[in-house]
Amino acid sequence: MAECHAQNKAKLISETRRRFEAEYVTDKPDKYDPRDVERLQQDDNWVESYLCWRHDVVDETLKMIDESFQWRKEMAVNDLTEASIPKWLLEIGGIYLHGYDKEGNKLLWIRVKYHVKDHKTILDKKKLIAFWLERYAKRENGKPITVMFDLSETGINSIDMDFVRFIINCFKVYYPKYLSKIVIFDMPWIMNAAFKIVKSWLGPEAVSLLKFTNKHEVQDYVSVEYLPSHMGGTDPFKYSYPPLVDDDFQTPLCENGPIASEDEASSKEDTESDGKDILETIFGEEQTALLKKINLTESTSKAEENEKVDSKTKAFKKPLSVFKGPLLHISPAEELYFGSTESGEKKTLIVLTNVTKNIVAFKVRTTAPEKYRVKPSNSSCDPGATIDIVVSPHGGFAVSAQDRFLIMAAEMEQTSGTGPAELAQFWKEVPRNKVMEHRLRCHIVESSKPTSLTLKDGAFNMSDKASEDMCLQFANSRRESDCSPP
């Protein structure tokens, strides 16, 4: 069934591309930005997003693409940069990306009180919306976004229906499939009539995406850690510009040295034996050859291992999918799987494989640096080599679906050193367009689900056959990951 669906989708994508080229591009090649036309021929996800929004009806999809592409050229979307936006508009903080909702979707904040209806500035405001959406779309490639319409302290003069309609059209036509929901906060009763019009613009299928909330109801959609104080939240974030508000990624705990907030001896034991705790205690001495690349010793006795397992729950999350980037293959491809609260200590792996002929520098950043230890978080990977990065929750904090990890990578010159000082200087000088970036979401799974292997007390009482099966599963998984072609 799934294979049949995939084949049908591939046919629809192919038909859409062929007909758009023949019926729309051939006669008027200057009608669109050639970069968009080229991307349509190469990016299956982009074509599929238009098809999905038009229920796989190719005729309607073609009309939508035509309208969207004309708008993209008119707004020069592909060329929008920070310099394209007036500085004063960036400084007031009326529109920006920050935080996540409870489903892990990025939040696009629209602080309506900072907007005044003015035909002289409306085009710049539209460009600012397009700038943020295009910036997000290029990085996240289809992941939904939640719009936060903050109407607190808003008067009737702040409501510009032309601007609101533009925002609705962005998600209906220009960025299909990107809208998760529109959360409308603290709407004055005088604006009820205006938002009835907004509902008509959305249409019957999308009107359910409107969520009208007050201080208590808004927390049904966004947790307090990403809500400002006037919404009953605890987020200390204060908008300022410059610099441009980005994805809020910061350096996690455990850069490559000691963790100041923990006992030094305990910290050293935990960080140096992460892989051994996770792997060797599960798979035994037969798997130790797989650990040599991360310099783990084989001297820990079985009694010591059992004692560690008895004192804490150990969990190993197998990366089963691979993102194949130009510099690194990254596993898992999209989500880091952590065990549930009941499963005890939770750790997971990010596996990086260098597919270039040069050394690749990498660093890992996160939106919740106080919650995680990452080892290593700033290092380099030799040509063809594989590195395991251990990610573990820290300080009693719970893993959240809103948390994100960013992996940054760039090729280094053969003559470059790879020590801490050299890496620090390298990241200061490397051009932005030379840096590969990949983002990972966090996902919490119950211990009963097959996405992770969790050992609790008595784990080593399993049968020899069960142990053998687990070892084979692990070896096959790692072999597929390490040997996958670039």
pTM for this one?
A: 0.59
Boundaries of CATH 2.60.40.10 in the chain?
323-444
CA neighbor of 207 nearest in space, from 176, 169, 181, 171: 181
Beta bridge partners, 324, equal 329
Amino acid at 288: T
Beta bridge partners, 353, equal 329, 386
d(C-alpha 424, C-alpha 43), whole Å: 35
CATH fold, domain 84-231, is Phosphatidylinositol Transfer Protein Sec14p (3.40.525)
pLDDT of residue 341: 57
Boundaries of CATH 3.40.525.10 in the chain?
84-231
pLDDT of residue 294: 41
pLDDT by position in tens, the chain (length 486): 667 777 888 999 999 999 999 999 988 878 999 999 999 999 898 999 899 888 899 999 999 999 999 999 999 999 999 899 999 999 999 999 988 888 888 899 999 999 888 889 999 999 999 999 998 888 776 788 999 999 998 877 777 888 888 998 898 889 988 889 999 999 888 777 777 777 777 777 677 888 999 999 999 999 898 899 999 998 888 888 877 776 556 666 554 433 333 333 333 444 444 444 433 433 444 444 444 444 444 444 444 443 443 343 344 444 568 888 899 999 998 888 887 655 555 788 999 999 999 999 999 988 888 888 899 999 999 999 999 999 988 877 888 877 889 899 999 987 778 888 888 888 888 887 788 888 888 888 765 444 433 333 333 344 444 444 444 444 444 444 444 444
d(C-alpha 268, C-alpha 450), whole Å: 31
Beta bridge partners, 335, equal 441
pLDDT of residue 303: 42
Cα 38 from chain centre: 25
Amino acid at 240: S
Q: Are 347 and 316 in contact (CB under 8 A)?
A: yes
pLDDT of residue 205: 67
d(C-alpha 353, C-alpha 234), whole Å: 39
pLDDT of residue 250: 63
Amino acid at 162: D
d(C-alpha 172, C-alpha 302), whole Å: 60
Assigned token pair, 322? 């691979």
Q: Are 378 and 255 in contact (CB under 8 A)?
A: yes
d(C-alpha 83, C-alpha 62), whole Å: 33
pLDDT of residue 266: 37
How would you write the chain as a 3-class SS string? Answer: CHHHHHHHHHHHHHHHHHHHHHHHHCCCHHHCCHHHHHHHHHCHHHHHHHHHHCCCCHHHHHHHHHHHHHHHHHCCHHHCCHHHCCHHHHHCCCEEEEEECCCCCEEEEEEHHHCCCCCCCHHHHHHHHHHHHHHHHHHHCCCCEEEEEECCCCCHHHCCHHHHHHHHHHHHHHCCCCEEEEEEECCCHHHHHHHHHHHHHHCCCCHHHEEEECCCHHHHCCCHHHCCHHHCCCCCCCCCCCCCCCCCCECCECCCCCCCCCCHHHHHHHHHCHHHHHHHHHHCHHHHHHHHHHCCCCCCCHHHHHHHHHHCCEEECCCCCCEECCCEEEECCCEEEEECHHHCCCCEEEEEEECCCCCEEEEEEECCCCCEEEECCEEEECCCCEEEEEEEECCCCCCCCCCEEEEEEEECCCCCCCCHHHHHHHHHHCCHHHCEEEEEEEEEECCCCCCCEEECCCHHHCCHHHHHHHHHHHHHHHHHHHHCCC
pLDDT of residue 470: 45
Assigned token pair, 204? 């019957």
pLDDT of residue 297: 42
Q: What is the largest CA-CA distance in the chain?
A: 76
Domain 323-444: state its class. Answer: mainly beta
pLDDT of residue 380: 93
